[in-house]
Amino acid sequence: MEGRSLDEQEKEINDILRKAFRSPPKTAHRKEALKRLIDLAHSPHSKLKIIVAQNFKIFIKEFPDLEDDAINAVYDLCEDQVTKVRICGYRAIADVSKEQPKWVKRNADVLVQLLQSDEPDEVSVVKRMLSEHLDMDPAVTLGVLCDQIVPPDEPLDEEEQAIRTRLRSLVLAFMTGEAKRAVERHTSTPGSAAEETLVSGLLRAVDKLAPTDIDIIVKDILLSLPSFKPSSPRGKQLLDAVLEKAKASLKADLLPSDAQSPLTDSRYYLELASYIAVQKRVAHPSHLLRFHFTSQLAAKATLLGLTEDARAFVISSVGDILDACEASPLEGASMPPQEDAALRRQTPDLCLVYLQVFSETQFTAEQRPWKACHIFLKICLRHHTEYKWALPPALQSSLQSIQKLLAAQDQDAKVVNEQDIQSVIRSLQPASRPPVPAPPPAAPATTNVPQGTSSSVNTSTSPGGTSPKAERRIMNVKRKHEDKPAGLPPRPTTSMPTNGAPPSTPSTSRTAQQRASTSQTRPLAGLAIAGAAARNGHVAIVQEDEPRAAKRAKKGGGIRRLPRRCSAAWLHPRKGAQPEIAEQKLGSVAWTRHQCQ
């Protein structure tokens, strides 16, 4: 056959094909045609190879014993030196997969390898054939694509690693480019085989790939899928996968060292987690908040061990997460009640930690995260008013430092929400009250009997320090002393008891007080008449020269008079009675018989 011309060989194969087309399925003519096509796949003539590529799909399904040879012949065509033959081979792969679905996986894998072609026209055809395989069997084809993305578990040499890396980038470009709409269309149903295959495969890739590839997988593929809706289970799975990477990288970034850590490795994963939970909201931000609160980044010592830029990044990130949590109630986080309550209790305490770091760090004007500071302050105030969170003393120190920072801002770098921050700070600070002056110590009350004045302090005094009532009483006493006869002996001064208590005054009834007040209006000369009568053994009756209206008794002033019933006992003591007994009955201010004499 090799000695025959191209025209003869072409005529022969066309005759064989015409007979096969007219023959029933699985007959000898059809089997002979398939064998002849397999042989011509290795012909030196491109025209014959193209005929082979175009007719394989007709007979391959009928003869399983020739399938492997037929598939290998198609693959050989894809590696032909002639571009046109290779392109026909690419199309033949898709034709075979349509006729025999069991070859979809193997053929899709071959097409993925063919993405490495240097010819743009060929790559375009390969991508179309891959898209057709997506339509034939989405789950299987997506599984093939994911297998090329996920690094293998076994170690690879340097050359194999380079090939694998380049092929991964080609597959990701295909999935985010020409096949993007097809991928989204076939994975639009959450829980379907295609969606499950793609998501599980790419989540495995996140755990093993570098940040560059992870960024494409998360932002350009997964988050564009319909199953990644706000607060969805898929979003929680994605966030957990990213946080696992963040946890591992934090251990490396926070190793004990003399130098401050810039969070080189973990910063990317923390930013990506914030993109998932805060910006896209496909996972509830409380899950990310709990990660921050339970990690080393919640400790003040750890935060102070970071560079200023990394410190500002962490504070800003936590502020954005808290702000997102305030906008999305925790009830939508699908957390157990115990975790929900624990997170609420923990939030204001950790806000205080971030406020302390904020106020103690020498940030530049561009670095200082004022927005996060405002969020922390508002949360502290809300927990204080709604949940009765007790304001710790350390908070007041931070508030004062923040006020100083606000005052120190340049005019060109004024804080946008400065007034709001100041308002919250004032709400968190205790209300200032004027100091209440302590009352002066009470002086013991003493009575000056000759002057009829008392030394007890009156709270209502005149500006000069003397009560007007006290001055009036003193004047009345002086006037009565001027009317006093010269022969009347002075009244004894009451002495202070040894225990320091004020002298006891006998309690009198209201009637006795009225009588005493009436007796104060009588002339003091009556006392001398009573004394003389007592010496002669007669009862003295004091007569006034003329009737005089009774004056109203003034409290604390004037000379105390003895009640009538007491004066008789005093003027006429029983026989054998001692003067001391009469004095005890009449009280400490009474006058004894001996004193009258």
Could you list the mean pLDDT of each consecutive 10-residue stretch along the chain, which spans 597 residues? 79 93 92 94 93 93 92 94 95 94 95 95 96 96 96 89 95 96 94 96 94 96 92 93 96 90 95 96 94 93 96 97 84 70 91 96 92 96 93 94 89 80 93 57 51 44 44 46 49 47 44 45 42 45 47 48 45 47 43 42
Instruction: Give me 69's structure tokens.
Output: 């040879």
Structure tokens at 501: 């208590």
Q: Which residues on adjacent β-strands are paired with residue 221?
A: none
Per-residue model confidence (pLDDT) at position 52: 94
Give every CB contact of residue 317 below 8 A, 6+ residues apart in sequence: 270, 271, 274, 292
Q: Give the Cα separation of 448 and 518 in Å (integer).
A: 22
**18 assigned to some structural domain:** no
Compute CA distances 358 → 80, 171, 368, 369, 512, whole Å. Answer: 67, 45, 8, 8, 78
Residue 292 DSSP SS3:
helix
Work out the burial of residue 463: count CB atoms within 10 Å of its CB; fewer than 13 is exposed, 13-18 middle, 19 or more buried: exposed
The predicted structure's pLDDT at residue 3: 65
- Domain assignment present for residue 356? The answer is no
**Residue 270 DSSP SS3:** helix
Name the residue range of residue 575's domain. 523-542+552-597
Is residue 67 within 8 A of residue 30, CB to CB? The reply is no
Domain assignment present for 172: no
- Judge whether 269 lies within some domain: no
Within a domain: 454? no
pTM for the whole structure: 0.69
What distance in Å separates the CA atoms of residue 532 and residue 500, rounded to the nearest whole number?
38
Q: What is the predicted pLDDT for the residue at 334? A: 67
Q: Judge contact between 514 and 478, C-beta under 8 A.
A: no
Interhelix angle 337-360/370-386, rounded to 10 degrees, is 130
On whether residue 597 sits in a domain, the answer given is yes
Alpha carbon distance 441, 114 (integer Å): 102
Check residue 414 and give its pLDDT.
77
Contact 454, 445 (CB under 8 A): yes
Q: How many domains does the chain have?
A: 1
* C-alpha distance across the termini of the chain, in Å: 176
The CB density around residue 77, as the number of other CB atoms within 10 Å, is 26
* 3-class DSSP assignment, residue 187: coil
- Taking alpha carbons only, the member of 54, 144, 51, 41 closest to residue 95 is 54
CB atoms within 10 A of CB 272: 22
Task: Give me the phi and psi of 261, to 5 degrees please.
Answer: -90, 135
Strand partners, 448: 453
Estimate the share of the chain in helix, then strand, then coil, as percent rounded to the nearest 5: 65, 0, 35
Q: Is 561 contained in some domain?
A: yes
pLDDT of residue 205: 95
Rounded to whole angstroms, what are the CA distances from 385 to 30, 342, 355, 371, 429?
87, 18, 19, 21, 13
CB 141 within 8 A of CB 104: yes
Does the residue 58 lie in any domain? Answer: no
Instruction: Scan for tokens 């320091």, then name that residue.
Output: 500
Report the distance separating Cα 298 and Cα 301, nearest Å. Answer: 9
pLDDT number for residue 257: 85
The dihedral through the CA atoms of 443, 446, 451, 457 has a sign that is positive
- DSSP state for residue 420 in the 8-state scheme: H
Tokens of 77: 């065509």
The C-alpha atoms of residue 29 and residue 22 are separated, in whole angstroms, by 9
Coil, strand or helix at 5: coil
370, 321 Cβ separation under 8 angstroms:
no
